[in-house]
Chains A and B, each alone.
Chain A
């Protein structure tokens, strides 16, 4: 095994920007994520163990009844580590002294949520700084625009990463399957525009849509005539109470892309010619000489029999052994820190034959 020092030009870090695309379809109180049908499990009510329209963190307990689920736990100790769901008071009072297990649970889920308000709620008031921040893009972010009849659609960050992608937020409203209105942020400045009218705004970093369009787009309903407005977007999402058959006519689509940045380290490792042609592996030497069995010893000396390097040179000829050359097979590359502590191992799918005349450049990548 040989060590080589990585120079500045051998290590570089890139940032990859990914744009995850999600589509939420809302109809009759249900939310469908990316047009996936609800998947009944064989052993549990749902295959993913979360409600329809939700994303499952880790997708860990697939089709497992409650009693058979994987769950995390830590042992109470002086480090005072615990789960976020365990309060300081609980930690102090409910788990005795050191050594008791503090258990958590998986199947954490997330989905979009909707909130309507006729006057600014505490959540909207908390967004005032954010609205001010976006204000230089558009006067539509003026806080005074949100004093009555606002619908807030909240998209959890697990769906988009660091922010929603500008110009890729699209809202559609359907009546009886027909598209009746569409709003997009085509200007890429946070305004949701439908028919040249601003009907809401997008807070990209926060993943929040604020809909204010209160003019009637269309009317529907046989039991009762109802107005369809942008502030009705996502009505009865995850909530079937007070819903009647008229509501089944309306459905809503929300399409968005996120911006997720992943840092990626690339390391170039060179196997120069004339080097890395010897191995300390036991199998590098011929096996017919057994060092512990074939040795010479006397009162003055202990001499092991010399062992030969195994000739593994490739030959097209079936007859005769090809001329010996020092050859190795590079099967893995290890990365060490400056204290020569092993911090990473990169394995090749197929070992590379390395002769004295050949040189290779291995390109290793790791997501940070």
Chain B
């Protein structure tokens, strides 16, 4: 065994971005695991502040946490709360999410979610009623890849037989180049709803600066996606006045039926429990998909074996009858076989070993650069 010091030109750090495509079809979210009234893959809690979606019945050890769903509205919202005491919880949810995701203003007040990310604008474009979807860290990994998030929602009237006849596609259009950095939790992008089949009310609620037109298709802002935090925030208006036919609760414009009542989106936010509110959203998800990113850091050690180095071995098996085993005549070239590279620190303590899949024959007539890569 021979030591050879590595100099700074022999060590290089690299970073690789590994991505995963994450499809979350609506069939995972609702419908596949219903044995009784409640789906087995959705966990409801006694506190009723949010619900958790798993990809398999959550009592199974194989189930993976997929995302949570909750909703809330700001105390500045015009909604009038119903009698079931949900207002405080929904205000708290909104406040907690806003503290976390958009922080405080200069006076120490919690800021409101803003459709275009302009938090200094005190009045315009505030999202006061929101659905929040925090995705599992298992799926998000280091971050959601920008401009890959897509969610397809059913925005037709409540239907029990044929859902997804009228859908809205929401995506973080153009976010690769146009993301915001003024959040305490990192970068975020703006979610846009695509105006397919003219279902968005671009006339009344889409003044020019709220509409984005790409390839002659109009898009309307409807939420935010926080990439490192892995949280999507969706305005409640996506089922309300952003649509040409808001799901307001009239006879043919029902957002949700809680078993006995036909409710509009405002009724659900104001009066229904957070669990009902979340369930109503889950039943309207046709598909969610995004790509995640994992940073793989590597250090590559270039171990340079010159022609006049490492040609002998101190292994006991190198000698036979006090003669070098691989030499038959004294004039033969010395030969060794490199099997392992040990990486030592400056105190000569062994830190890592790299094994070659097959031994490398080394003689004075050959030179190698062996590339040992350490991933972490």
Give the B-binding residues of A (Cβ under 8 A).
Answer: 39, 41-43, 47-48, 59-60, 62-64, 68-75, 79, 81, 282-283, 285, 287, 290-293
* Chain A to chain B contacts (Cβ below 8 Å), 7 pairs: A47-B62, A62-B63, A68-B25, A69-B23, A70-B22, A290-B108, A292-B107
How far is the CB of A62 from the nearest CB of chain B, in Å? 5
- Other than the given A43-B32, A71-B20, 18 more pairs (CB < 8 A) read A43-B27, A59-B62, A60-B64, A62-B56, A62-B63, A69-B23, A70-B22, A70-B23, A70-B139, A73-B20, A74-B18, A81-B16, A81-B296, A282-B108, A283-B108, A291-B106, A292-B106, A292-B107
The reply to whether B20 and A282 form a contact with Cβ atoms under 8 Å apart is no
- Complex Cα–Cα for A75 and B20 (A): 11
How far is the CB of B144 from the nearest CB of chain A, in Å? 14
Question: Quick one: given A62-B63, A79-B14, are A73 and B21 in contact (CB under 8 Å)?
Answer: yes
The reply to whether B62 and A62 form a contact with Cβ atoms under 8 Å apart is yes
B302 contacts the other chain (Cβ, under 8 Å)? no
In the bound complex, residues from chain A placing their C-beta under 8 Å from that of B60 are 39, 47
B104 contacts the other chain (Cβ, under 8 Å)? yes
Partner of B21 from the list A42, A64, A71, A292 (CB cut-off 8 Å) is A71
B19 contacts the other chain (Cβ, under 8 Å)? yes
In the bound complex, residues from chain A placing their C-beta under 8 Å from that of B106 are 291-292
When C-beta atoms are compared, the residue in chain A nearest to B54 turns out to be: A62
How far is the CB of B3 from the nearest CB of chain A, in Å? 25
When A and B form their complex, which 7 residue pairs have the shortest distance between CB atoms, in order from nearest?
A81-B16, A282-B108, A62-B56, A290-B107, A292-B106, A72-B20, A62-B55
Question: Quick one: given A62-B55, A62-B62, A64-B55, are A79 and B16 in contact (CB under 8 Å)?
Answer: yes
The reply to whether B64 and A75 form a contact with Cβ atoms under 8 Å apart is no
Tally the A-B contacts, defined by beta carbons under 8 Å: 65
B33 contacts the other chain (Cβ, under 8 Å)? yes
How far is the CB of A197 from the nearest CB of chain B, in Å? 33
- Complex Cα–Cα for A301 and B110 (A): 30
The reply to whether B62 and A48 form a contact with Cβ atoms under 8 Å apart is yes
The reply to whether B55 and A63 form a contact with Cβ atoms under 8 Å apart is yes
Partner of A39 from the list B18, B62, B108 (CB cut-off 8 Å) is B62
Question: Quick one: given A42-B33, A63-B56, are A73 and B23 in contact (CB under 8 Å)?
Answer: no
Question: Quick one: given A39-B62, A63-B55, A290-B107, are A70 and B20 in contact (CB under 8 Å)?
Answer: yes
B217 contacts the other chain (Cβ, under 8 Å)? no
How far is the CB of A165 from the nearest CB of chain B, in Å? 23
How far is the CB of A53 from the nearest CB of chain B, in Å? 15
How far is the CB of A76 from the nearest CB of chain B, in Å? 11
B59 contacts the other chain (Cβ, under 8 Å)? no
In the bound complex, residues from chain B placing their C-beta under 8 Å from that of A287 are 108
The reply to whether A68 and B21 form a contact with Cβ atoms under 8 Å apart is no
- Complex Cα–Cα for A290 and B104 (A): 13
In the bound complex, residues from chain B placing their C-beta under 8 Å from that of A42 are 32-33
In the bound complex, residues from chain B placing their C-beta under 8 Å from that of A72 are 18-20
When C-beta atoms are compared, the residue in chain A nearest to B139 turns out to be: A70
Partner of A70 from the list B14, B21, B296 (CB cut-off 8 Å) is B21
The reply to whether A74 and B21 form a contact with Cβ atoms under 8 Å apart is no
When C-beta atoms are compared, the residue in chain B nearest to A56 turns out to be: B62
In the bound complex, residues from chain B placing their C-beta under 8 Å from that of A292 are 106-107
In the bound complex, residues from chain A placing their C-beta under 8 Å from that of B27 are 43
How far is the CB of B298 from the nearest CB of chain A, in Å? 8
When C-beta atoms are compared, the residue in chain B nearest to A73 turns out to be: B19
How far is the CB of A50 from the nearest CB of chain B, in Å? 11
